Amino acid sequence: MKNYSTQMEAAKNGIITSEMEVVAEKENMNAEKIRELVALGRVAIPANINHKSLSPEGIGEGLKTKINVNLGVSGDCANYEKEFEKVKMSIEFGAEAIMDLSNYGKTNTFRKQLIDYSPAMIGTVPMYDAIGYLEKDLLEIKAEDFLRVIEAHAAEGVDFMTIHAGLNKRSIESFKRSKRLTNIVSRGGSLIFAWMEMTGNENPFYEHYDELLDILYKYDVTISLGDALRPGSINDSTDAGQISELIEIGHLTKRAWDKNVQVLVEGPGHMALNEIAANMQLQKRLCHGAPFYVLGPIVTDIAPGYDHITSAIGGAVAAANGADFLCYVTPAEHLRLPDVNDVKEGIIASKIAAHAADIAKGIPNARDIDNKMSDARRRIDWEEMFSYAIDKKKAREYFESTPPADKHSCSMCGKMCAMRTTNKILNGEKVEFSN
């Protein structure tokens, strides 16, 4: 008979769960070490008891950097078939998590299909769904209504939920004093802020935090403590509003752990390159080593259409300095709902950032595949090179689009290929260009 309800509760009781064993195998780590880290809260394994198709993943200290893909319908683009194409692509390219951010109509049909289908962990922001699910205007929604939506998502099998519980009256005062350039850019955060200002009440997720944790505990849902005051421009990064909310989140992290609920902490946002490393250390200090989940950071504000690149730059620096989980950004960021191609570009950019950071962090065996690729390049073995590529199809298409006359080269250098030249000399052969 199972004598625990959550991964953290099991870990604290010295129990290695089947999910911990899967994570240990994926990470090439000892299962007991995984258990210790889960017990401390430094690793989370989001694994709702009702998500039967899940292939568990660990997020946190000493583990490979994971990536998340955001998708979901909006009022302007309500095509669930297209969203499911994005789901399939996300899984094909190895995304460890998918967040359904649908905010239009009755979203639970799509969410249930997603949970039934996906081996990747599933996240949601229940605040987005509250208005459509409850069919009420924001001002009419009560605290118990918000909790009802959270329980509905949890019962369906959602593994982690973004809850903006740190946006309380104290952090709002800091935000107002900061006189930001871009104010609040978090969609969920802005809705909570508006609700608080219109009603005069405290944040319901903060005021009823213990009740919320009881729901999450029941289904083993990981709370992802959302950063409602994340900077939406590099001008606003590391300001009093952002840091005051982070201090509140640190306190909420410990309260969740006390109730055996696993925690992720969400972070910026837009941030100049020189501030990223310090922010990662600050989060780990204030939030007691909890896994850190960052959006970007986006390192410049002037590249709409290319924000998958600005995000990957920031994400690589963030993860190399301690971030554990990267939320992808697509070229459509700030412009429109991403299409399938945008999603692909975002996934690839984020995977590159995560892998580059794992090499920098010294994650065991992280650079093995790079060494294999380099060896295949030395031998000019194209098929083997394609097999190691993050995007195998694109690598092959580029090579074959302008085929070389000599298969032991490419159309860039032809017979002047440095690999070919050096290989011939080291093999005792002459270098000739006439044949």
- For the residues of 166-199, what is the DSSP string, one character each? S--HHHHHHHHHH--SS----HHHHHHHHHHHHH
* 417 marked as part of a ligand binding site: yes
* 270 marked as part of a ligand binding site: yes
Contacts 24+ apart (CB under 8 A), 285-289: 286/246, 286/247, 286/249, 286/250, 287/246, 287/249, 287/250, 287/253, 287/263, 288/41, 288/250, 288/253, 288/254, 289/40, 289/41, 289/42, 289/61
CA torsion, ordered 135, 137, 138, 139, to nearest 10 deg: -130
Handedness of CA 73, 78, 84, 89 (dihedral sign): negative
How many CB atoms sit inside 10 A of residue 392's CB?
Answer: 12
* 70 marked as part of a ligand binding site: yes
* 378 marked as part of a ligand binding site: no
* 229 marked as part of a ligand binding site: yes
Q: Please tell me the distance from the alpha carbon of residue 3 to that of residue 376, in angstroms, as a whole number.
A: 50
Q: Please tell me the distance from the alpha carbon of residue 414 to that of residue 34, in angstroms, as a whole number.
A: 50
Cα within 13 Å of Cα(305), Cβ side: 1
* 287 marked as part of a ligand binding site: no
* 266 marked as part of a ligand binding site: yes
* 239 marked as part of a ligand binding site: no
Q: Please tell me the distance from the alpha carbon of residue 336 to that of residue 301, in angstroms, as a whole number.
A: 16
* 362 marked as part of a ligand binding site: no
Q: Please tell me the distance from the alpha carbon of residue 324 to that of residue 204, in angstroms, as a whole number.
A: 28
* 123 marked as part of a ligand binding site: no
* 1 marked as part of a ligand binding site: no
* 188 marked as part of a ligand binding site: yes
Rounded to 5 degrees, φ, ψ at 98 are -130, 125
Determine what percent of the chain falls in helix, strand and coil, rounding each to the nearest 5. Answer: 50, 10, 40
Using CA atoms, how far residue 116 sits from 108, 150, 166, 339, in Å, is 12, 19, 31, 23
Q: Please tell me the distance from the alpha carbon of residue 43 to that of residue 213, in angstroms, as a whole number.
A: 18
Joined tokens for residue 319: 């993860």
* 153 marked as part of a ligand binding site: no
Check if the beta carbon of residue 86 is closer than 8 Å to that of residue 69: yes
DSSP state of 202: P
* 307 marked as part of a ligand binding site: no
Contacts of 81 (CB under 8 A, 6+ apart): none
* 187 marked as part of a ligand binding site: yes
Q: Which of 223, 281, 294 is nearest to 257 (CA)?
A: 223
* 251 marked as part of a ligand binding site: no
Annotated binding site for substrate: 70, 99, 128, 164, 186-188, 227-230, 266, 293
Sequence ranges of the binding site: 70, 99, 128, 164, 186-188, 227-230, 266, 270, 293, 334, 410, 413, 417
**Binding-site sequence positions for [4Fe-4S] cluster:** 410, 413, 417
Q: From the annotation, which residues make up the binding site for Zn(2+)?
A: 270, 334
